[in-house]
Amino acid sequence: MTIYTPVRCGIVLAAGEGKRLKPLIHRLRGDALPKQYVNFLGARSMLEHTFRRAEKLISPKRLFTVVSKGHLSHAEPRRQLSSRTGGTVVVQPKNKETGPGLLLPLMHLCKRYADSTVVIFPSDHFIVEENLFMSHVERACHLVERDPSRLVLLGVEPNEPEPEYGYILPGGEVDNLAPFGVRKVLRFVEKPETRIARELIMGGGLWNTMVMVFKVKTFLKLVRRVAPALYRSFERIGKAVGSRREREVVGKVYRHLESVNFSRGLMEPFALEQPSALLVLPVRGVYWSDWGSEQRIMSVLQNARDLKRNWKEQYVIIRN
């Protein structure tokens, strides 16, 4: 009897420019290094912390990273990416937002692991209880492997009405998946004003971490339905991956490609087109922060002494 062992892959999204943090980075370092390569805390950059976190569940040889070509003009990105497994670093000609930033590495992953379960990891998150967080990621993987028609987002229980975050309003439980603790997705709300954010939290709203688990074929089928032109562009790239024409085809596609935000351009249409496919897994007891603003980073640094002991064991604060 053959025992089926699911293949799990990951995609680290590291192609962003982090424009809002450039003034802080310039004060700290005197240059314009994109935020994901910066050591705000300890001896590792945000990207390196993401690698370490993801590799608790996924082998480095199946962990793909997308970066933008301009990043490689800096020494730090080249150093931090130099030890990655060959073929897992995917370079975009230009940053076209998070939609293409996900689809480009997915084409490479699909070529080698077409039947895999995929986890998406943004590279600008600060997480204290990493083991607990990754146990939720693993639970989401088990769910998707049991029911490949589902896409599962991780939503963190908020501790304040943060107007700069995206929110997921969960619905009821899914009967046959009740043991996993997942909920239906009623709607997404991007960056609500504080009053609305407070109302969302009172109604059970969760912060959208953008950490997501799905099967490759399920995700691509949904992209084809809600964004057919975008799908066709990346289908061209997928056919060229691994060939001598790959760079040429990618360049041509990106020259005519519109920027597409993953949340607004794909997730919200997914929820309207096929609401039963989209689920959210609530994450509780985890200190999570999306480091998209200077205020958020400084808040963590200033309150570091109040964080739990396991944070102190994982990170050493750098004082500039």
Dihedral sign, Cα of residue 43, residue 48, residue 54, residue 59: negative
Q: Indicate whether 170 belongs to any domain.
A: no
Q: Indicate whether 305 belongs to any domain.
A: yes
- Say what the pLDDT of residue 41 is: 78
Q: Are 46 and 66 in contact (CB under 8 A)?
A: no
Tell me which residue range forms the domain holding 234: 8-147+214-263+289-314
Q: Indicate whether 221 belongs to any domain.
A: yes
Give the residue among 282, 256, 7 at the shortest CA–CA distance from 117. 7
- Say what the pLDDT of residue 294 is: 86
Q: Indicate whether 106 belongs to any domain.
A: yes
**Distance between CA 121 and CA 133 in Å, rounded?**
12
Buried-state track 248-271, b at ≥16 Cβ within 10 A, e below 16: ebbebbbeebeebebbebbbbebb
Q: Indicate whether 198 belongs to any domain.
A: no
- Say what the pLDDT of residue 306 is: 58
User: Which residue do the tokens 């963590």 mark?
Assistant: 300
Domain count, the chain: 1
Q: How far is CA 14 from CA 18, 21, 95, 302, in A?
A: 10, 15, 10, 26
State the CATH number of the domain containing residue 50.
3.90.550.10
- Give 3-state DSSP helix, strand, coil % of the chain, rounded to 5: 50, 20, 30
**Tens digit of each residue's pLDDT, the chain (320 residues):** 555 678 999 999 999 998 889 999 999 899 999 999 999 877 899 999 999 999 999 999 999 999 999 999 999 999 999 999 999 999 999 999 999 999 999 999 999 999 999 999 999 999 999 999 999 999 999 999 999 999 999 999 999 999 999 999 999 999 888 889 999 999 999 999 999 999 999 999 999 999 999 999 999 999 999 999 999 999 999 999 999 999 999 999 999 999 999 998 999 999 888 889 999 999 999 999 998 888 888 877 776 555 544 444 454 433 32
Q: Indicate whether 62 belongs to any domain.
A: yes
Q: Indicate whether 284 belongs to any domain.
A: no
Pairing state between β 63-68 and 151-156: unpaired
Q: Indicate whether 38 belongs to any domain.
A: yes
Residues near 305 by beta carbon (within 8 Å), at least 6 away in sequence: none
- Say what the pLDDT of residue 43 is: 84
- Say what the pLDDT of residue 175 is: 85
**Distance between CA 92 and CA 83 in Å, rounded?**
19
Q: Are 13 and 101 in contact (CB under 8 A)?
A: yes
